[in-house]
Amino acid sequence: MKKKILILMGGISGERNISIMTGKACYKALKKKGYFVRTLDPKINFIDQLRKKKPHIVFNALHGRYGEDGFVQSILELEKIKYTHSGVLASSIAINKVVSKKIFIKNKIATPNYLVYELNSNKNLLTELKKNKINFPVVIKPISEGSSLGVYICTKKNLIKKIKLLKDYKEILIEKFIPGREIQVAIMGKSKLGAIELKPRRKFYDYYAKYYKKSKTKHIMPAALDQKKYNEVLNIAKKAHQILGCKGISRSDFRFYKNKFYLLEVNTQPGMTNLSLVPEIAQYKGIKFEDLVDWMIKDASLKR
């Protein structure tokens, strides 16, 4: 009997469109592999629809809040349905940039200096930055978003103006901007899949650079590092994957500056579109897209 696969895609986060792109690509791949595949957009009556469809395995193609933060994972655990990617705890920790940073620091993984700033705070922001040894330029971002949504590089001159763009958040993360090279590493189970280097024409690898061909971001695979440094960044990514308790596929984002790697974040639900990095790294290693997605289905499990 064919296994019934249900792809969760869409959702209600700011990354809805990217999730749909990921879901469609994975749907085609799993159909090629001979699975019985259906899709579900969990916007309304999610649990009722899930129970009606009775899948053997859920492929979680959701991105951002409610799909990548442990929420959907909790429901699937309670319904005893195997699913792809990381479990409840790892998902909720990884998407929270403050909690994950604390774990990186505790485990001696370099990450940019930061502070958490409450938008309605009476504290003087410039004083707080100075106290935390954070010089300009700085990066501001929501604490729990993905796909570089709401991420801005700020100077002293435009900081307050940019912060106003994040007015819908109670608090935000402000961290020291690390210049240098963009390196991203894919981990596949217990394997260090590879590292890719990105050279965006924009200030950094933002939402536009990630998902639009016109951005013309240059991809260098494998990353142009000497073997020692290449192995080092793979090892850091695997360590981060393990200490956060990630499962399946993860992608770690680094800056390489003055011969040192700074880990920005770990993505537990990396994109699986035709422009996504994990499939590109896998292809370089001889793993076809449909085989990568098939591996993710066979790796699916209950995590607790």
Give yes or no: residues 186 and 262 share one domain. Answer: yes
Give yes or no: residues 192 and 295 share one domain. Answer: yes
Q: The domain spanning residue 134 has which CATH number?
A: 3.30.1490.20
Tell me, yes or no, whether 210 lies in a domain: yes
Tell me, yes or no, whether 202 lies in a domain: yes
Is 202 annotated as catalytic?
Answer: no
Is 100 annotated as catalytic?
Answer: no
Is 290 annotated as catalytic?
Answer: no
Give yes or no: residues 39 and 153 share one domain. Answer: no
The structural domain count of the chain equals 3
How many Å apart are CA 6 and CA 84, to the nearest integer?
11
Could you give the maximum distance between any two Cα atoms of the chain, in Å? 64
Q: Which of 68, 197, 206, 265 is catalytic?
A: 265
Q: Which of 230, 251, 255, 262 is catalytic?
A: 251
Is 265 annotated as catalytic?
Answer: yes
Is 91 annotated as catalytic?
Answer: no
| Phi and psi angles of residue 80, each rounded to the nearest 5 degrees, phi first | 60, 45
Q: The domain spanning residue 246 has which CATH number?
A: 3.30.470.20
pLDDT at 5: 98
- Boundary of a domain, candidates 127, 151, 176: 176
Can you give the residue range of the structural domain that contains 170? Answer: 114-176
Give yes or no: residues 44 and 69 share one domain. Answer: yes
pLDDT at 304: 61
Q: Which of 10, 11, 13, 15 is catalytic?
A: 15
Give yes or no: residues 104 and 211 share one domain. Answer: yes
Q: Which of 41, 175, 206, 253 is catalytic?
A: 253
pLDDT digits (tens, 9 = 90+) for 56-85: 999 999 998 899 999 999 999 999 999 999
Give yes or no: residues 294 and 145 share one domain. Answer: no
pLDDT at 71: 95
Tell me, yes or no, whether 264 lies in a domain: yes
Is 147 annotated as catalytic?
Answer: yes
Give yes or no: residues 99 and 220 share one domain. Answer: yes
Give yes or no: residues 73 and 126 share one domain. Answer: no
- Boundary of a domain, candidates 176, 202, 222: 176
Tell me, yes or no, whether 304 lies in a domain: no
Give yes or no: residues 149 and 282 share one domain. Answer: no
- Boundary of a domain, candidates 176, 201, 223: 176
**How many Cβ atoms are within 10 Å of 216's Cβ, its own excluded?**
11
pLDDT at 259: 97
Give yes or no: residues 264 and 248 share one domain. Answer: yes
Please name which of 225, 102, 114, 229 lies closest in space to residue 176, comparing C-alpha atoms.
114
Q: Which of 13, 91, 147, 250 is catalytic?
A: 147
Give yes or no: residues 166 and 183 share one domain. Answer: no
Is 207 annotated as catalytic?
Answer: no
Sites in the chain below the pLDDT cut of 50: 204-212, 214
Q: The domain spanning residue 13 has which CATH number?
A: 3.40.50.20
How many Å apart are CA 271 and CA 250, to the nearest integer?
10
Q: Which of 35, 207, 211, 230 is catalytic?
A: 211
Contact criterion met (CB below 8 Å) for 267 and 252: yes
Give yes or no: residues 188 and 171 share one domain. Answer: no
Q: Which of 175, 267, 276, 294 is catalytic?
A: 267
Is 267 annotated as catalytic?
Answer: yes
> Residues 6 or more apart from 97 whose CB is under 8 A from it?
141, 143, 144, 173, 265
Q: Which of 10, 11, 23, 271 is catalytic?
A: 271
Please name which of 109, 102, 209 lies closest in space to residue 153, comparing C-alpha atoms.
209
